[in-house]
Structure 1
Amino acid sequence: MFSDSRLQDYVAVILGVFAALSPLWLDTNDAAMWSLIVLGVLVALSGLAQIVRPSMAAIDYAMGVFGVLLFLSPWVMDFTAYNGASWTAWIVGVLTVVVAVAALPVMNARMHGGGLATHH
């Protein structure tokens, strides 16, 4: 069950938990608070899902989408005036995308010396 877990999946869980809990110590409005909580929980859950089922590449793509949404949320949800919440969303969003890209099967194959596998 946990035999093929990768470091980036644990990093995603940490990033998601950090984002979800950050309204506890950051000055936010309702839009910032719920954006950070919901997207943070989704990032953490996608990391947990990858820990349990590392072969499900779709979760890596979903994680990347959640990271992009988190990055865009200060503008879309109009909370750029809240610097701490905005910077948290931007930084955690970018890091989540980086983690998701690093977790993609093609990237893993390249990083571990393998090429693109052909299906027989």
Structure 2
Amino acid sequence: MQLQDLLPLIAGVYAFLSPIWTTTTDRATMTMVALGIITALAAIAELVRPDVIPLEGLMALLGVAFFVSPWVMGFTGTSPMAWTAWIIGAVTFIVGAADIQLTRMHHRDTMATSH
């Protein structure tokens, strides 16, 4: 288990719980709770069975969903929750994109040694 495996889990749990201490609206709360739960569950699945369930692309996609959610769901005016979504989105996207690159490099190395 490495830090990049734990970051999406921490980000998902933080997003899920953030309406407790962050100024929010109903739409922002529903969005952050839903995306937080999905992110945390995907991270847990990746931690438990990384060889069976490759979810790197899903993490990057969830990062994008978090990042655009203030505009799509209309809570950019709720600055604390919008910033929470943008930061969690950036972190989740970066971790997911980095994980995709690591997986590609690993597959490339595996293919090179098998030939």
Q: Do 1:15 and 1:96's aligned partners in 2 also have CA atoms closer than 8 Å?
A: yes
How many residues are matched? Answer: 111
Gaps in structure 1 of 5+ consecutive residues: none
Shift of 1:7: 2.3
Shift of 1:103: 1.9
- Residue 54 (structure 1) aligned with residue 50 (structure 2): yes
**Given the two structures, how large is their TM-score scaled by the length of structure 2?**
0.87
Moved >6 Å (runs of 4+): none
- Structure 2 residue identity aligned to 1:48: I
Match of 1:80 in 2: 76
Q: Structure 2 residue aligned with 1:64, among 60, 63, 74?
A: 60
- Residue 107 (structure 1) aligned with residue 102 (structure 2): yes
Shift of 1:60: 1.3
Structure with more helix by fraction: 2
Q: Structure 2 residue aligned with 1:18, among 7, 10, 14?
A: 14
**Given the two structures, how large is their TM-score scaled by the length of structure 1?**
0.83
Match of 2:35 in 1: 39
| Partner Cα distance (1:8, 1:47) in 2 | 10
After superposition, the CA RMSD in angstroms is 1.8
Q: Structure 1 residue aligned with 2:89, among 87, 93, 106?
A: 93
- Structure 1 residue identity aligned to 2:20: L
Gaps in structure 2 of 5+ consecutive residues: none
Query: Percent same amino acid among aligned pairs?
Result: 39
